[in-house]
Amino acid sequence: MRKRQRHIVLPLIKWSILVFLIGITLWFIGQYVSHGSVSSGLAHSHQISVLTYNTGRMGEFKKAQHNAVIHNILDINADIVCLQEVEVYKDHQYLTLQELKKALKSYPYTYFDFKIYNKRRQYGLAIFSRYPLINKNTIHYASVGNISDYCDVVINDDTIRLFNNHLESNRLTVGDLPDSISRVEFVASAQRINDKMGKALPTRKTQAATIRQAINDSPYPSIVVGDFNSLPASYVYNKIRGWDLQDAFLSTSWLRLGNTFVTHHIGVRIDYILVSRSLTPRRTEVLRLQGSDHYPLVSNISW
């Protein structure tokens, strides 16, 4: 009798483990690999293009005429431009705020929210828009250099709440990588990386919870963009996305990874455009342009 029970139980356990592993694999693929298609369905009354771009300190704060990031923004020509790591100086040797505004003068509406603001430089977020921006607010959380904010975009008779985010960085550098193939160096490198990520992750979790609450409080459909410094399978990404937002890249392309940050030939997707389910993301592209350590991400959104 016991042998018969064992013959029944063991296969059930094996099948249960197999189903579990298949489920985990499908979930993982669903998080990382795009599985939608470019939408060309019913016509909508409104359509806008939204760009999110970690500018790598505004193209290393080069002057506008030599600044690849500024040229990229102008070439992309999105209706709404959300920028992170915007760095401008009062020293005219480098890019100034007035020069940045002048270079992007085709956008009449702006919102600058600087986390660092002193006599020498400003550093933070910026939004450039062809539509009016009202109700501008900072989302307050603990961070030395990172920041999130939101504002309302007025498009004809409609209003959309736009969230721009730059979450806590792991601050990994080339110096954290192993200098040799020795076991000792690999262990030391792993420890350095683990220590930095261990410090940043709790901070990002708190930031994600604060942002999610702000999304919950929005009376309007939301577009949430920015550099989350987190992978698609992370707690941070899923906390912000929740069940009410859709990932524009995943839902408008097929079998692509969409890496937005590439260093030392390693690419990861940490920049996102998330939209409310009452909005329809259409073509969404990662544009592999030079000028920053991140690639710009742009999406057409209709309703």
Cα 47 from chain centre: 21
Residue 14 domain-assigned (yes or no): no
Helix, coil or strand: residue 163 = strand
CATH number at residue 206: 3.60.10.10
What pLDDT digit, counting tens, does each position of 63-88 carry? 999 999 999 999 999 999 999 999 99
**In the predicted model, is pLDDT for residue 204 greater than 90?**
yes
Q: Which residue has the higher pLDDT, 21 or 144?
A: 144
Q: Tell whether 200 is covered by a domain.
A: yes
Residue 232: inside a domain, yes or no?
yes
Pair 192, 173: CB distance under 8 Å: no
Q: Does residue 82 lie within any of the structural domains?
A: yes
Q: Is residue 21 a part of any domain in this protein?
A: no
- Evaluate whether residue 218 is within a structural domain: yes
Asked, for residue 65, whether it belongs to a domain, the answer is yes
Count of C-beta atoms within a 10 Å radius of residue 263: 13
Give me the number of domains the chain comprises.
1
Amino acid 137: pLDDT: 98
Q: What is the pLDDT of residues 122-177, one digit of tens each?
A: 999 999 999 999 999 999 999 999 999 999 999 999 999 999 999 998 854 445 44
Q: pLDDT tens digits for 208-261?
A: 999 999 999 999 999 999 999 999 999 999 999 999 999 999 999 776 778 999
Is 22 contained in some domain?
A: no
CA quadruple 53, 161, 80, 112: dihedral positive or negative? negative
Distance CA 36, CA 256 (A): 10
* Segment (H or E) for 1: none
40: confidence class by pLDDT, cuts 50, 70, 90:
low
Concatenated DSSP letters of 57-125: HHHHH--GGG-HHHHHHHHH--SEEEEEEEEEESSTTS--HHHHHHHTTT--EEEEEEEEE-SSEEEEE
C-alpha angle 223-248-149 in degrees, rounded to nearest 5: 25
0.75 cut: is pTM over it?
yes
Tell me which residue range forms the domain holding 273.
Answer: 39-302
